[in-house]
Amino acid sequence: ALGAVLLMRFAKEAAKYFDSAEIIELHHNRKLDFPSGTALKTAQLMGEARSQFNLNTHDQTANLPDARGAEYQGIRLHSVRIPGLVAHQEVIFGTTAQTLTLRHDTISRESFMPGVILGIRKITTFNTLLYGLEHLL
């Protein structure tokens, strides 16, 4: 979805200014992999903008193993799989006395069509293989 691509772009920009971040991705219960490719790509892009995250985390005690989610380049990733969802992603940034939340919600798979149509219209303008809608925006 174009909104997911824009969320990744905005998250990369915000990562320059916020030293703490976590990603929460939610999908239907039939999605077998986790975290999602979109969440991983978002974390990779954020890592390009800032080399370290969440350095101000104090000693914490886990009452349950892995309750804080997986970690990728210092960014915590949380995956939810539950019936009734399609695809959702939230990136929460924090720094001194403020937070910023970016969120994209796919309500229906119809949301993927504008990106497909954009790809069909622009594909003839490229001479090389492209991976990702971000190159078309």
In this structure, is the dihedral angle defined by the CA atoms of residues 117, 123, 129 and 131, taken in order, positive or negative? negative
∠ at Cα 29 (24, 33), nearest 5°?
Answer: 65
Active-site option among 31, 41, 88, 122: 31
Q: Specify whether 78 is catalytic.
A: no
Q: Specify whether 28 is catalytic.
A: no
Q: What is the rounded distance in angstroms from the CA atom of residue 137 to the CA atom of residue 135? A: 6
Closest listed residue to residue 17, CA positions, set 98, 95, 103, 90:
95
Active-site option among 12, 27, 78, 104: 27
| Catalytically annotated residues | 27, 31
